[in-house]
Amino acid sequence: MSRRSGIVLALAVGLAATAALPTTAAADTVTPLSREEASARPVLHLGDTGPWVRRVNEALAVHPAGARFRRATGRAVAAFRTSVGLSSHPVVSVRTWMALGSRVPVPPVPEQPDLGYGDTSDWVRAAQVALGVQPATGYFGTVTRAAVARFQQDHGLPVTGRLDAATWAALGDRVTAPPVDVTTTEQARTSRAHRAALGVTAFAASATARRVVERESGGRCDIVSSGGTYRGKWQMNADFWRAYGGSEFAATPDLATCDEQDVVAYRGWVDRWWQPWPTA
């Protein structure tokens, strides 16, 4: 082999080896996830489905990157876990999420959700206004279902009685998008740290908070349930009140100010999202 050929071959081998390694710049772009953030995400196993699975498939270059945790997903997860010093189990656990970090962003919330009979939301109210349903309560009942079905029939759509993607598209500019409810985004649902950063003012002013308060107490801060168990604006019981620091304000919720009750409710919401309030 000539000296020139040897140099060319050495360069080719060096370039190939370099290409096989992740660059420092690429590695620096990945931000690890905190344990708190990772704990808010679901543990994923073989057979699971959903937007989180799709994002994992995309991050680990599983093809096709569908929304199902397939065997190919399991192999990719196992290989990734091994590469970061974890066991080779095909499961996306808290430690897996931490290592994946910013490779897997929070799935976006659909701008116009698929809605049907029994749903309640500001999007239902917006559609009711567009369809002329009165009163526009935000509750998807029989009247709203009939109005949606008529609209679908008039526009040559499958008559499902649901507000699906095709129906939203046909409604178009007739619908005025409601303000984003910061308490019901996917990030608010899955991230305790994100909830903690929102603040009590944004929480109490949200559409969901106002709806819960209206259903629980009618907005009355001094109200007490018939049995005496649930009290105040948010109808908190004694355990909830004490657990989230209510005792620093008053012995029971109904004896505290409305703003103080909001603070305690917010603390509980940060900890458990809307789970304590089925009326949400």
User: Rg of the Cα trace of the chain?
Assistant: 26
User: Long-range contacts of range 112-115, CB-CB < 8 Å, 24 or more positions apart?
Assistant: 112/163, 112/165, 112/168, 112/175, 112/177, 113/163, 114/162, 114/163, 114/164, 114/165, 115/140, 115/162, 115/163
| Angle (CA) 242 34 113, round 5° | 80
Tens of pLDDT, residue by residue over 126-184, are 999 999 999 998 889 999 999 999 999 998 999 999 999 889 988 988 888 887 788 98
- The half-sphere exposure of 261 on its side-chain side, counting CA atoms within 13 A, is 24
Instruction: State the Cα–Cα distance between residues 164 and 188, nearest whole angstrom.
Output: 24
Q: Looking at the predicted structure, is the pLDDT value of residue 80 above 70?
A: yes
**Both tokens assigned to 110:** 């659909």
Mean pLDDT of 59-85: 92
Taken in order of first residue, the domains within the chain and their CATH numbers are 29-103 (1.10.101.10), 122-174 (no CATH), 186-272 (1.10.530.10)
Contact 108, 193 (CB under 8 A): no
Tens of pLDDT, residue by residue over 237-271, are 999 999 999 999 999 999 999 999 999 999 999 99
Q: What is the average pLDDT score of the chain?
A: 85
277 Rama sector, left if φ>0, alpha if ψ -120 to 50, beta otherwise: beta
* pLDDT computed for residue 169 by the predictor: 84
Tens of pLDDT, residue by residue over 172-182, are 888 888 877 88
Q: Looking at the predicted structure, is the pLDDT value of residue 199 above 50?
A: yes
- Provide, rounded to the nearest whole percent, the portion of the chain with pLDDT above 70: 87
**Both tokens assigned to 270:** 């940060």
Mean pLDDT of 45-69: 86
Question: Residue 101: pLDDT band by 50, 70, 90 thresholds?
Answer: very high
